Chain A
Amino acid sequence: MTTFAADTVTVFSRELRPVLRNPASIVFSMVQPLFFLALFAPLLPDTPDGSSALQWFVPGIVVMSCLFGTSMTGSNLLFEMQTGSHERMLVTPLRRPALLVGRALKEIVPMFAQAALIVAVCVPFGFEVHLGGALLGLAVLAAFCVGLGALSYTLALASKNQEWLFWTVQQTLLFPLLLLAGMLLPVEGGPGWLQTAARFNPLTYVVDAERALFNGEVAAATTVTGALAAVAVGALGLAVGVRAMRRSA
């Protein structure tokens, strides 16, 4: 019989294959973040220290693009549950946890591709890349992304045949999370309650860390907090997701 690692690789490669067969699909889920980049960023004033607003805004858009794409990923599973192909996977000897972990890990690939694309688009407009920091930032984001993907799959498993339930929950959570993380506008200037709410949003710490890392501030305290928040989301997502997958029938 196979090992857990081999099972995970099998599931991971299966999930990745349609993406590799049709790489353009990576761009579809980032249409909205790209609009924000094109139509929102030009409205932002330059930062007080004189650097381009892009240095502040682009890392947020990288997280946003991960958030949009990854939070929707459960819909693929939902569809497979409806057609019967999830059942097909459940009847193979693949370990239940591998069915979840392999899928969640695959989310890292489109996330990396989208980040690269966003950065490449912004460089001509004066965005400065600090390669080491950016790569570290993506490593942190990867942990978050795996957790979010796992939660999205959990939502799909919980929604069963009610597609509306999946989309309602996903859409309802998406924008508050995004705005409260200060992704589009800084939260610091907002009222006290809003700042408090932002403090309970793990995404806030991830976004702050991405901003620091993309600007080359590797040794900052925000980096550590952000990495911890991302790993916590990753661990929580996987734990919840594995539990849901074990109960799937």
Chain B
Amino acid sequence: MIETHELTRHFKDVRAVDGIDLRVAEGELVALLGPNGAGKSTTLRMLTTLIPPTSGTARVAGFDVTRQQRQVRQHIGYIGQGNGAAHSQRGRDELISQGRAYGLTVRAARARAAELIDSLGLGEVADRTVSTLSGGQRRRLDIAMGLIHAPRLLFLDEPSTGLDPQNRANLQEHIVALRREHGTTILLTTHYLDEADSLAERVIVVDHGRIVADDTPDRLKAVHAGDRVVLTLATGADADRAAALSARVPAATVTRGGRTLHIAVPGAPALVPGLLADLRADGVTVAAVEVSRPTLDDVFLNLTGRSLREGAPVAADLDLVGA
């Protein structure tokens, strides 16, 4: 569905996108993840023909983005970062105009608009001027506009930014349903790690215009962050013995800070009961134990040295926490 080769876009001396090779197969749901300015929107804008690449090529839905722009546009849906519906229009009117733009007859456009208004719960607001709608209502209208021609391939640029948690959950359900019921291929960007985690079965991490990782969320977490066990021991002597013992666990990395041990180890939840039994048999008293699964943010931190969480301070070295 999407195939790019060395896709590049420069703005004066900014390398917004710096040689991206991307392949997305039919039916995939892929999340592009990256800090502000990583080049996510620019990538999407090239794939949707809104801006031409500086160099490199991209085929989208079987057509070349520079030489067959109209065909690409006909076959894709795009929901951008802004509001698709003009503020001076009524929602339903905009939906019908969109339908007409994709070549639907007036009758078909009306029917499709009514269908989307219904399925996105816009019934009460569709005949009001867009400027009077709330942010969440407008966002749902944007989604409806992007879906008017039932595209086989859908691009969403930060679809849930600015939505409250309930609207966000609603939107995610919609995205999942699109994929399940219509087999729509979806490429989205997001700032919400939990969203990427729960929604996409493939996450592509972009930084400085390049792809730095591309895998399932689980594998990314396993490879780039790993599980973590935090043990707090009763005494310093206990901590010494526990450190020696846990260092023998295969593939474990142990960091010590006072009476606390941080053990990075794959498959931690299954290993902990055994470890605790061994410690007890050895006469070591464990005061507290905590097992944490890695988040995509940990992955992010490891890959880019930055946290994705908005407003989060630049990475403190986790291994030193509690030292």
Which residues from chain A sit less than 8 Å from chain B, CB to CB?
A: 1-2, 6-7, 10, 13-14, 17-18, 21, 76, 79-80, 82-85, 87-95, 249
Contact = CB atoms under 8 A, between A and B. Distances in A.
B88 to A, nearest CB: 5
Given A10-B100, A79-B87, A84-B84, 9 more contacts: A17-B90, A84-B81, A85-B94, A88-B80, A89-B101, A91-B49, A91-B76, A93-B74, A93-B102
A17 B93 contact: yes
Contacts of A1: 70, 74, 103
A249 B73 contact: no
Interface of B: 45, 48-51, 70, 73-74, 76, 78, 80-90, 93-94, 97-98, 100-103, 142, 145
Contact of A91 (B50, B88, B90, B93): B50
Contact of B88 (A13, A76, A93): A76
Nearest to A85: B86
Nearest to A95: B70
Scoring A13, A14, A95 by chain B CB atoms within 10 A of each residue's CB, the highest score goes to A14
A222 to B, nearest CB: 39
Contacts of B97: 10, 13-14, 17
Scoring B85, B90, B97, B145 by chain A CB atoms within 10 A of each residue's CB, the highest score goes to B97
The 8 lowest CB-CB distance pairs between A and B, nearest first, are A84-B82, A88-B84, A92-B101, A14-B97, A85-B86, A10-B100, A93-B73, A93-B74
Nearest to A249: B51
Contacts of A14: 89, 93-94, 97
B125 to A, nearest CB: 15
Contact of A87 (B74, B80, B87, B89): B80
A84 B89 contact: no
Contacts of B82: 82-85, 87-88
